[in-house]
């Protein structure tokens, strides 16, 4: 029976700049063990209805497993209950240690605690590492040891802290002489993944580490210096498009940070704005770790009793992008088509759902969770609670985004709207933000008949604004 050290892959589908993998190789060399690589297919995720988020995730997994196996490191796919999956390996091999990059929040954290307790009871060394963020949930604290609740002071502290360097992985060790390939353990997992891929309704091409590195270099060379100016304009390609790769871990957050940090000029505003976005990602992750119930519960207790509107037809109009507000509809249709939405639009659509439709933010959060290929639980919950004015450091409840003003400001010529709402393609710039004001002759000229070709506004923004303020004030008084 071979002595082995297990490297357990999860949302870290890469062989470069990978802390747990690097540490596992060091351990294997020192203790003369072989490396056993595994990925656990959890029925909680595999049995979900397939939507854009998990179709994208599983296609990334299939790509990663294929690439690793081709480079002579066999990744074993284990399917079923996680403890039984580990027991299968324990029954065949003498496991000395298990290395993985931990989850500090959500369902992954619960699983990690469960597996750690199970393995340690069997005398197996468990080695967990924080690899998904530049700073983990407990790294940036106030002087008194408590966590920050406001972003600006958190960011000031975060910016001063040294960032971990890019991790070197000795990939020469990852070959058939030092790694285990036991296909018999992988049959069920292989079949399961194959069946999921066959059921996918669309094929994603922006997957894998090579694409991730190309996207990073392309961003630095072409868009970084003007990032602060362009990132809010949805019609232009002004953002990094790296979030989908971070979601699957096909690129490391350290690789991104250091590449951006070293390439740009020191006082570069584009660079600083982008780095601040990486800090927001860490901030919401830290908040989620301190408020584990925030997926279900508003952080601001004053608003835990808001009486949300339960109008299903309005919620469906929002989901489909048929609200009668062009910018909102364009954003939702981009999400439904591509599994991605421009960040400005995430704010606009979340605000519209919660402040114009007065619908529970949790419903919007759950819809985004199914659709977004870059879905990050902490950031998405944090973003929805921010837009709904119920979270930490959130927008005040009386500050309500006007979807028409946002449209005129961030898509002045209507280029973005026309791209995703083809019914409005021939509408003149004068009416594109408020097509409901078009005279009849203009409607006929542009082949856009209101209430037929394109919906009339489903609500009156001014009225809803007053209603939203009242709703929040009532909740506060309870």
**What residue numbers does the annotated binding site for FAD cover?**
227, 239-243, 274, 277-284, 374-376
What is the Cα–Cα distance from 16 to 170, expressed in whole angstroms? 9
Token pair belonging to 124: 């197996």
Closest by CA position to 39, among listed 206, 253, 196, 200: 196
Residue 32, token pair as written in the block: 């003369």
Least Cα distance to 35 among 89, 78, 84, 87 occurs for: 89
**CA separation for the pair 73, 34 (Å, rounded):** 11
Q: How many whole angstroms separate alpha carbon 143 and alpha carbon 151?
A: 16
Q: Is 201 helix (H, G, I), strand (E, B) or coil?
A: coil
Asked if residue 264 lies in contact with residue 227, where contact means CB atoms within 8 angstroms, the answer is: no
Provide the 3-class DSSP secondary structure of residue 216.
helix
For residue 15, give the DSSP letter: S
Alpha-carbon distance of 89 to 95, in angstroms, equals 8
* CA neighbor of 253 nearest in space, from 151, 135, 139: 135
Task: Please enumerate, by residue number, every residue annotated as part of a binding site.
Answer: 227, 239-243, 274, 277-284, 374-376
Contacts of 65 (CB under 8 A, 6+ apart): 39, 75, 77, 193
Q: Which residues of 278-307 are buried (b: 16+ CB within 10 A; e: fewer)?
A: bbbbbbbbbbbbbbeebbeebbbeebeebe
Give the three-state DSSP class for 101. strand
DSSP 8-state assignment for residue 353: I
């Amino acid at each position: 029976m071979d002595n082995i050290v297990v490297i357990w892959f999860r949302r870290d589908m890469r062989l470069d700049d990978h802390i747990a993998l690097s540490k596992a190789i060091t351990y294997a060399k020192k203790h003369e063990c072989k490396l056993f690589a595994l990925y656990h297919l959890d029925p909680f995720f595999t049995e979900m209805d397939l939507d854009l988020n998990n179709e994208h995730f599983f296609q990334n997994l299939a790509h990663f497993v294929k690439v690793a196996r081709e480079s002579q490191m066999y990744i074993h796919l284990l399917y079923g209950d996680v403890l039984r999956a580990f027991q299968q390996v324990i029954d065949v091999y003498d496991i000395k240690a298990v290395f993985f990059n931990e989850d500090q929040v959500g369902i992954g954290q619960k699983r990690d605690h469960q597996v750690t307790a199970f393995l340690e009871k069997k005398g197996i060394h468990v080695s967990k590492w924080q690899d998904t963020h530049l700073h983990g949930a407990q790294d940036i604290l106030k002087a008194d040891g408590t966590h920050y609740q406001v972003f600006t002071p958190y960011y000031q502290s975060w910016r001063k802290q040294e960032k971990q360097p890019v991790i070197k992985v000795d990939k020469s060790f990852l070959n058939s002489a030092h790694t285990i390939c036991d296909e018999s353990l992988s049959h069920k997992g292989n079949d399961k993944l194959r069946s999921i891929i066959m059921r996918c309704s669309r094929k994603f091409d922006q997957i894998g580490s090579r694409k991730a590195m190309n996207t990073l270099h392309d961003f630095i060379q072409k868009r970084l210096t003007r990032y602060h100016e362009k990132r809010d304009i949805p019609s232009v390609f002004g953002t990094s498009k790296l979030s989908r790769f971070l979601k699957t871990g096909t690129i490391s957050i350290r690789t991104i940070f250091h590449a951006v940090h070293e390439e740009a000029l020191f006082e570069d505003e584009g660079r600083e704005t982008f780095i601040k976005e990486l800090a927001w990602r860490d901030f919401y992750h830290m908040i989620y770790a301190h408020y584990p119930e925030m997926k279900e519960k508003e952080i601001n207790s004053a608003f835990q009793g808001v009486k949300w509107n339960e109008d299903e037809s309005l919620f469906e109009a929002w989901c489909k992008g048929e609200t009668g507000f062009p910018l909102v509809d364009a954003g939702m249709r981009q999400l439904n088509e591509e599994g991605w939405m421009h960040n400005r639009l995430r704010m606009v659509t979340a605000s519209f759902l919660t402040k114009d439709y007065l619908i529970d933010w949790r419903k919007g959060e759950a819809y985004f969770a199914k659709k977004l290929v870059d879905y990050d639980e902490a950031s998405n919950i944090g973003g929805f609670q921010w837009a709904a004015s119920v979270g930490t450091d959130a927008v005040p409840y009386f500050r309500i985004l006007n979807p028409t003003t946002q449209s005129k400001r961030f898509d002045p010529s209507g280029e973005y709207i026309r791209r995703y709402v083809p019914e409005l393609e021939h509408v003149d710039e004068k009416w594109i933000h408020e097509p409901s004001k078009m005279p009849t002759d203009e409607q006929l000229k542009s082949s856009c008949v209101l209430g037929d070709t394109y919906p009339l506004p489903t609500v009156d923004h001014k009225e809803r604004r007053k209603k939203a303020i009242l709703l929040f004030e009532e909740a506060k008084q309870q």
